[in-house]
């Protein structure tokens, strides 16, 4: 029984690790630049990236960033799998937010 439980924990952490370790930032940038900027430009002007660096930014943690990317993905209406979301989150985090994970 105990062995069974630790097996589940191990599998869980392996999945979490590979979820973040396999992020493909250049794919994330590609997805981001072709899908996400035009709407942000219409809100924020410039190249749209000001929305990530604005003062009253409510995104303060890595999980909050994931959540917001999913929210925006849904308002965009695309069906990105978690892998794609993760690539975009990683791109945004490395470029703008720099949160610890």
Instruction: Give residues with Cβ within 8 angstroms of 37, minimum separation 6.
Output: 47, 48, 49
How many residues of this chain bind ligand HEC (CB under 6 A)?
Answer: 20
Could you identify the residue written with the tokens 């990236």? 49
Nearer Cβ to ligand HEC, position 2 or 77? 77
Q: Which of residues 1-30 bind ligand HEC (CB under 6 A)?
A: none
> Of these, 23, 32, 87, 93, which contacts ligand HEC (CB under 6 A)?
32
Which tokens hold the place of 21?
A: 């370790």
By CB under 6 A, tell whether 73 contacts ligand HEC.
yes
Least gap, CB of 89 to ligand HEC (angstroms)? 8
Which tokens hold the place of 27?
A: 């794919």
């Amino acid at each position: 029984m105990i062995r069974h439980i630790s097996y589940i924990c191990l599998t869980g952490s392996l999945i979490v690790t590979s979820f973040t370790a396999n992020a493909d930032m250049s794919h994330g940038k590609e997805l981001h630049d072709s899908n996400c900027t035009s709407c942000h430009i219409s809100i924020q002007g410039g190249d749209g990236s000001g929305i990530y660096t604005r003062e009253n930014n409510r995104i303060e943690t890595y999980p909050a960033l994931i959540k917001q990317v999913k929210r925006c993905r849904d308002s965009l209406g695309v069906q990105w799998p978690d892998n794609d979301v993760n690539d975009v989150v990683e791109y945004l985090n490395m470029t703008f937010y720099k949160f610890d994970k």
